[in-house]
Structure 1
Amino acid sequence: MKAVQFTEHGDRGVLEYGDFPEPEVDPDEVLVDVKAASLNHLDIWTRRGLPGVELEMPHIPGSDMAGVVTEVGERVTRFEAGDRVALIAGVAGGGDEFSRKGDPTLAPDFHIIGEHVRGVHAEFAAIPEENLVPVPEGVPWEVAGSASLVFQTAWRMLVDRGELRPGEKVLVLGASGGVGHAAVQIADYAGAEVYATASTDEKLEYAEECGADHVINYEEDDFSKEIQTLTDGRGVDMVVDHIGEATYKQSLKSLVKGGRVVTCGATTGPDPGAGLNYIFWNQLSVIGSTMATPGEADEVLDLVWDGTFEPRIRETLPMSEIDRAHELIEERQGFGKVVVIPDSEL
């Protein structure tokens, strides 16, 4: 089969799309003929190299995909050949405590397909059945292959960890990215008043289409000052911040007393300084969130499958143009998700 792969960490030049052995199917696994996959920012970090994460080389990236089951292991009970499926990338062992009905993100050995182990940017992928969900007929492959990671991440951040309530004011940073544009839609669906930031007027128009009530161009304005102006000095109840060092202090300054920052990542760096003076004086909460439980993922994906939520696609490319796909993410070009399709499917 053909697969995206790299044998060393580095810039986009380490990526290639070439021959790779077709995966063998373990008893608890399902072999999927990949129809569409997509990129997330973690693909950039994985390619560059993450501290403390040692990968088996060559590594296949990719944590989002959808396709058709072609083979099932002898212990598989949930799927059969011909089923349409999508990936849920979070994996945990740990026995019954961290089963599908529990919270695998809290397991000591929690890891992510594509980030810590070989991923799905390939023609075929062997996936544990617990990491797949059914995709209804009629859902386009581009939608099915690009929704899972960002919508489950944003849903857990806002609904479960952040406990978002109707009528609250929510600021979503980086609304043009995968998690950002999902968070805007979820906040709007939950009945919040949604504020969103992006770097261009075009991106802000897309954010408004996704449900943002107020938009701020962070290249032109200090968003924390704009929030104070827009809320008559009150601030927002929640900030969704996956940016990190570049935005953290402004996020704290944007909050009402007793407000909360929810974070799932730090694309500009992980060490912004604690900001303890803001936190204790204004009684703020900083809440971490990673991926989602299977139940949370099922809940939000049902809303994707029925059209309530829509993953916006900025560009669809052949997998052989993986360099360009990484460039779109790395250089923050466009709005929404970047989809890659095996060349054999085109």
Structure 2
Amino acid sequence: MSRSVRFHEFGGPEVLRIENVVVPDPGPSEVRLRIKAFGLNRSEVLTRSGKSVTKPALPARLGLEAAGVIEALGSNADGFAIGDRVAVIPGELGRGYYGELALAPTRTLVKMAATQSWQDAAATWMAFGTAWTGLIDIAHLSAEQTILITAASSSTGLAAIQIARKVGATAVALTRTSAKAAALLESGAAHVIATEEQDVVAEVARLTGGKGANAVFDAVGGPTFEKLTEAAAIGGMLIVYGRLSPEATQLPIAQILWKDLTVRGFGLPTTIARDDKLAALKQFMGEGLASGALRPIIARTFPFDEIVAAHRYIETGSQFGKVVVTV
């Protein structure tokens, strides 16, 4: 038996329970992982609360990314050995990495560097995988281009800032107030715009000489989406990967037509399902982590027994970076 987090009803953080579950032997292309740390994600809050697009059957488990030690191998788990320290790239829903043990598909595993901590490994792949998909795979962001990044103090926002800087692009961080401006600049943003204190369209025009932003990486949606289309350059692309705003997102057709804009959404599991995309992500991240150009920023770490408190904390939206739980 192994301890795992499950919930038997949808609701607030208090519905999460640590229970004993049976984790079977791994299938042919799986390993059984002794989990040392796992990252928390906004999508898991939506799932737990019953607000996700699809609701899992109850009782349900959570967890998309983790780091740990391989303790059992499937018959086709080539390239891995018992005792390997690995991180899991989020790719398959329902795996349930909130726990002491879990099964993980070998194709989504990455061997950790000897110097990388469990917390850093668990905080890396959802944030950077999402940012890589939006900025590199979809937008083909390159040097001399400007990108607007909403929810910039989130783990994915900070990953996007680092990736933009790595390819020589100008990252403009958008945040509600100026309280996090200094930290965002220290984390690599070229400029910061406080959306509740400044005129986003006017500021972007000033920073780009009136041209607008080549790309927008948006996790929010809602009423501000129209402002983002106004701030985009002619022929620009708006990549949408989240819906943090509780309000409806109106599609500004006039701006899209007049400025020849592309609006593109995506989900990370679709990217990870393709072997060529997964290989490209692993290569890009391997180079970035080895050089130090890319590194996760951790807001706070909680022990496993405080999973309810960890979910309460992530719901405040006050964190700067990733929330991680150690097991």
Do they fold alike, i.e. is TM over 0.5?
A: yes
Task: Tell me the distance in 1 between the aligned counterparts of 2:104 and 2:242.
Answer: 25
Partner residue of 1:239 out of 216, 226, 249: 216
SS in 1 for 2:61: coil
Contact 1:158 1:187 in 2 (8 A): yes
Q: How does 1:288-307 map to 2 (within 5 A)?
A: 288-291=265-268, 292=271, 293-302=277-286, 303-307=288-292
Contact 2:64 2:95 in 1 (8 A): no
Inter-CA distance 191–313: structure 2 relative to 1 (3 Å threshold): same
Inter-CA distance 172–318: structure 2 relative to 1 (3 Å threshold): same
SS in 2 for 1:247: helix
Partner deviation per Cα, 1:297-317 (whole Å, 9 max, x = no partner): 302331225422111000000
1:314 and 2:291 are equivalent in the alignment: no
Residue 49 of structure 2: aligned partner? 48
Per mean C-alpha deviation after superposition, the further-off stretch among 8-17 and 288-297 is 288-297
Contact 2:47 2:55 in 1 (8 A): no
Task: Tell me the distance in 1 between the aligned counterparts of 2:137 and 2:298.
Answer: 26
Per mean C-alpha deviation after superposition, the further-off stretch among 260-269 and 139-148 is 260-269
Partner residue of 1:183 out of 160, 164, 169: 160
Task: Tell me the distance in 2 between the aligned counterparts of 1:68 and 1:335.
Answer: 28
Residue 29 of structure 1: aligned partner? 30
SS in 2 for 1:150: helix
Partner residue of 2:171 out of 191, 194, 215: 194
Residue 108 of structure 1: aligned partner? none
Structure 2 counterpart of 1:188, one-letter code: R
- Superposition TM-score, scaled by structure 2 size: 0.92
State the 4+ residue runs in structure 1 displaced beyond 4 angstroms: none
Structure 1 counterpart of 2:41, one-letter code: N
Mind listing any 5+ residue stretches in structure 1 that lack a counterpart? 91-111
Residue 271 of structure 1, CA deviation: 4.5
Residue 200 of structure 1, CA deviation: 4.0
Partner deviation per Cα, 1:219-252 (whole Å, 9 max, x = no partner): 3224233222333432111111111124311110
Residue 340 of structure 1: aligned partner? 325
Residue 274 of structure 2: aligned partner? none
Contact 2:223 2:248 in 1 (8 A): no
Residue 320 of structure 1, CA deviation: 1.6
SS in 2 for 1:182: helix
Inter-CA distance 36–305: structure 2 relative to 1 (3 Å threshold): farther
Contact 2:4 2:21 in 1 (8 A): yes
SS in 2 for 1:297: helix
Task: Tell me the distance in 2 between the aligned counterparts of 1:31 and 1:6.
Answer: 22
Residue 249 of structure 1: aligned partner? 226
Residue 265 of structure 1, CA deviation: 1.9
Structure 1 counterpart of 2:29, one-letter code: D
1:224 and 2:209 are equivalent in the alignment: no
Per mean C-alpha deviation after superposition, the further-off stretch among 325-334 and 268-277 is 268-277
Inter-CA distance 71–312: structure 2 relative to 1 (3 Å threshold): same
Mind listing any 5+ residue stretches in structure 2 that lack a counterpart? 272-276
Residue 188 of structure 1, CA deviation: 1.0
Residue 105 of structure 1: aligned partner? none
Task: Tell me the distance in 2 between the aligned counterparts of 1:56 and 1:262.
Answer: 31
Residue 14 of structure 1: aligned partner? 15
Residue 251 of structure 2: aligned partner? 274
Partner deviation per Cα, 1:281-335 (whole Å, 9 max, x = no partner): 0111112232233113302331225422111000000122112222222211120
Partner deviation per Cα, 1:123-182 (whole Å, 9 max, x = no partner): 111111122121121111111111001101101111110011210111111110011110
Partner deviation per Cα, 1:166-219 (whole Å, 9 max, x = no partner): 101111111100111100111111111221112343422221122111101123
Task: Tell me the distance in 1 between the aligned counterparts of 2:179 and 2:55.
Answer: 39
Task: Tell me the distance in 1 between the aligned counterparts of 2:83 and 2:199.
Answer: 52
1:213 and 2:190 are equivalent in the alignment: yes
Residue 104 of structure 2: aligned partner? 127
- Superposition TM-score, scaled by structure 1 size: 0.87
Residue 95 of structure 1: aligned partner? none
SS in 2 for 1:226: helix
Contact 1:169 1:194 in 2 (8 A): yes
User: Superposition RMSD on alpha carbons, in Å?
Assistant: 1.8
Structure 2 counterpart of 1:194, one-letter code: A
Count of residues in Structure 1 that have an aligned counterpart in Structure 2: 318
Higher relative contact order (CA 8 A, sep 6+): 1
Task: Tell me the distance in 2 between the aligned counterparts of 1:150 and 1:78.
Answer: 25
Residue 165 of structure 1: aligned partner? 142
Per mean C-alpha deviation after superposition, the further-off stretch among 131-140 and 223-232 is 223-232
Contact 2:95 2:104 in 1 (8 A): no
Percent identity of paired positions between Structure 1 and Structure 2: 33
Q: How does 1:102-117 map to 2 (within 5 A)?
A: 112-113=92-93, 117=94
